Every structure is written in structure tokens, then in C-alpha cells.
Amino acid sequence: MADLTIREVRTTLLRMPWPEDPWLAGHALGPMRDLVVVEVVTQAGITGMGYLHLLNLPLQRTIGACIAEAMAPRIIGRDATAVEAIWHDLWRTTLTGGRGGVAMMAQSAIDIALWDVVGKAAGLPLHRLWGHYRSEIPIYGSGCFRGARGDGMISKAQHYVAQGYKAIKMQVAHVGDLRTDADNVRRMREALGPDIDIMIDVNMGWSADVAITMGRKFEEHDVYWLEEPVLADDYAGYLRCAQMLDMRVVGGETHFGRADLLPLLEGARIPILQPDPMRGGFTELRKIATLADTHGVTIAPHLFPELNVHLLASIPNGIWAEQMGLLDDVFVSLPKIANGMITAPETPGHGLAFRPEVLTDFVLR
């Protein structure tokens, strides 16, 4: 077997402009894209890559420093296949100042890179390494941004439908007033007809009372789910919304790890969890999926379809991937998306590589 002793951990901070894509208009993610890229280099020359897209979180240098100071020194010299031991060690080491936040995001990038090493060394894509379940997963078109207003959101939804998507996600709250939000949902349903699923993302913009009031208005338009209606820590608010509304109430992208998500599983009132790979890495995502399945709950992870496709292709309770296209221009190749389905790639590891110019032209100095 190849010598998978870790000899180097390289961290690259990237800041790059958005592509000139009119369908990205209206997002609230800032003027630039901030990425943290981690490469784990082994003695055998096999290199694994992990990354974070910070989505306007102003902690890029902080996360880089956390990797350099608290994490890289602890994993150099270890076997890259000891993924579970390394995850646990990094979590324990940063426990009193971490348990989430910067520390868990930093170790998530490392975790993704380690699994990439293991998959490459085994010659298997991650979904087969973990136990293949299926190759195709439904994917919905996301990023009908509130900043594009009603007409813009509808146009983007129609653009997705024209590509074969069977479900789209639009945004409410934060911009405009409640009456406008209600009207936008009504107009979206009228524009798409009865056969396209409509998800609604509140992005933690409401109190439980407002979410319940608005949710009841949305229900007449056959909405598939109401996402992140309240702040992530408002577990009581989540459960109130789920109890008072007939539609699905979902969330989880802002929660860190399975312990943070456990209250949402109480009574299985939140039927779909949306964990984020930046908040625990692949190791924690897989545990969340199993924990959810034990409670009869399904998984529709947040963004990163190019990574999440491997989880979804290896579990029985993965039901949706999310496509927003935020990083489609930075990789050499991406998993195939057609007719509302994403296909898990057969390339060893996670199968992703940044275009060479991305790693040279956009380094944050």
C-alpha cells in the first residue's frame, strides 16, 4: 500500500470575482468570493483537496490561521487514512474554544481533503468507498434571489425549468415587506404551474409568529417546504412552526455537527435536515445522515452539490441536492446535471480539481 503519511498541509486563501452570469444577479454574498483551499500531501505523492466557500463570512484569514496554528502541526506525520482519529483529535484539541464556528470549519476542510486522499489511494469515488446506494439524485434549482425581486426570481425559476429541473427555491424576508413576499409566492406558483415544486427560504429572517402567519398564507400555493424560518438556535421556534403548519419546515445549514442538530430531530417534526459540509466535513455529514435515518428523517444537504453528491449517492435517506451554481466556473469538471438529476462521478476521491489559474491568479495577498 502507498505510504499515506502526511508530509505537508498547504492552505491557500482565494478571493475572486463572480463570473459574468446574469442568473447570479440579486445575491447578497458580497462583491467577491472568498475560498479557503486545503491540500493534504502524503509521502506517496497523493494529494487530497478540501475547500470552504465562506458565503460572505468575513473569517477567511482567521480560518487559515486556525489551520496553520491549531491543526496542521497535529496531523503532519500521521496516516491520512486515520480520518476518524484525526477528526476526533482536532475536535478535542479545540474543544474549549471551538465545538463549532471557525474551528469546525477549519477541520471540515481538512476532513474533506483526507477523504479525497483515501478515495484516490483506493481508486474509488467516495460514494463507492462508503457503500454505493444509487447513482442519480434529484436536484433542485436554487438561488432565485430575493435581491432580483419578484420578476427576477420568476425568470430564474423559469430558466431552471427550461433546463429540466422539477423543483426550484425562492427567497423571502429581508427585502421588502410581508405583503410583497406573499404576492411573490403567489406569482411564482402561477408562473410555474402545478407540476413544479416550490421551496421557500427565509434565511432566518422571521420570528416563529411571523413564520407561522406567512406559512399559512403560503400553504394555499402548495409550497414544498419552508426553510430556516427562524434563527438557528431558536429550537422552540422551529418546533412551533412545524407543529402549527401543514407544510414541511426544514433547516440545519447553520448548525454545527450532529449534536447541534439533535434538537431538530425531537419527535421527527423537522422531516428534512440540511446539514452543510463546511460544518463538520464528510465525517460528520455521514453521521448526521445515519442519525437522521434512525429518526425517520431525510437529508437534503446545503449547497456544494459537487461534494454532497457523494453522500447522497451512498445513503438511503438522501432526497435532494441543491444547485446554485456559485462555483461552477472554478473546477476542471463537475458532476453531470440533466433532467433534474445529478449523477455521482466515478473519479477516485471526490473527483474535483480547481482550474490551475484559479489557484494562481486569485490568491489573497
> Rounded to the nearest 5°, which phi and psi values hold at 296?
75, 25
Separation CA 76–CA 64 (nearest Å):
16
- The predicted pLDDT at position 154 comes to 98
Distance of alpha carbon 323 from alpha carbon 144, whole angstroms: 11
Q: What is the pLDDT of residue 195?
A: 98
Q: Tell me which residue has cell 435515518.
A: 293
Chain centroid to Cα 168, Å, comes to 16
* pLDDT value of position 55: 96
CATH class label, 128-343 = alpha beta
Specify whether the CB–CB gap between 295 and 320 falls below 8 A: no
What pLDDT score was predicted for residue 266?
80
- Looking at residue 111, what is its pLDDT? 99
Dmax over CA atoms of the chain, in Å, equals: 63
Domain coordinates of the chain in residue numbers?
Answer: 6-123+355-361, 128-343
Per-residue pLDDT of the chain (365 residues; tens, 9 = 90+): 799 999 999 999 999 999 999 999 999 999 999 999 999 999 999 999 999 999 999 999 999 999 999 999 999 999 999 999 999 999 999 999 999 999 999 999 999 999 999 999 999 999 999 999 999 999 999 999 999 999 999 999 999 999 999 999 999 999 989 999 999 999 999 999 999 999 999 999 999 999 999 999 999 999 999 999 999 999 999 999 999 999 999 999 999 999 999 999 987 789 999 999 999 999 999 999 999 999 999 999 999 999 999 999 999 999 999 999 999 999 999 999 999 999 999 999 999 999 999 999 999 98
Architecture of domain 6-123+355-361: 2-Layer Sandwich (3.30)
Say if residues 204 and 230 touch (Cβ distance below 8 Å).
yes
How would you write the chain as a 3-class SS string?
CCCCEEEEEEEEEEEEECCCCHHHCCCCCCCEEEEEEEEEEECCCCEEEEEEECCCCCCHHHHHHHHHHHHHHHHCCCECCCHHHHHHHHHHHCHHHCCCHHHHHHHHHHHHHHHHHHHHHHCCEHHHHCCCCCCEEEEEEEEECHHHHHHHHHHHHHHHHHCCCCEEEEECCCCCCHHHHHHHHHHHHHHHCCCCEEEEECCCCCCHHHHHHHHHHHHCCCCCEEECCCCCCCHHHHHHHHHHCCCEEEECCCCCHHHHHHHHHHHHCCCEECCCHHHCHHHHHHHHHHHHHHCCCEECCCCCHHHHHHHHCCCCCECCEEECCCCCCCECCCCCEECCEEECCCCCECCCCECCCHHHHCECC
Is there a shared CATH topology between the 6-123+355-361 domain and the 128-343 domain?
A: no
What's the Cα-to-Cα distance from 177 to each of 53, 144, 174, 214, 338, rounded to whole Å? 30, 17, 8, 11, 36
Q: What was the pLDDT predicted at 101?
A: 96
Distances (CA, A) of 290 to 79, 285, 315: 26, 9, 8
The dihedrals phi and psi of 292, each to the nearest 5 degrees, come to -65, -45
pTM of the full structure? 0.97
Q: What is the dihedral of CA 191, 193, 194, 197, to 10 degrees?
A: -50
CA distance 300 to 318: 6
Q: Which three cell numbers stand for residue 135?
A: 447513482
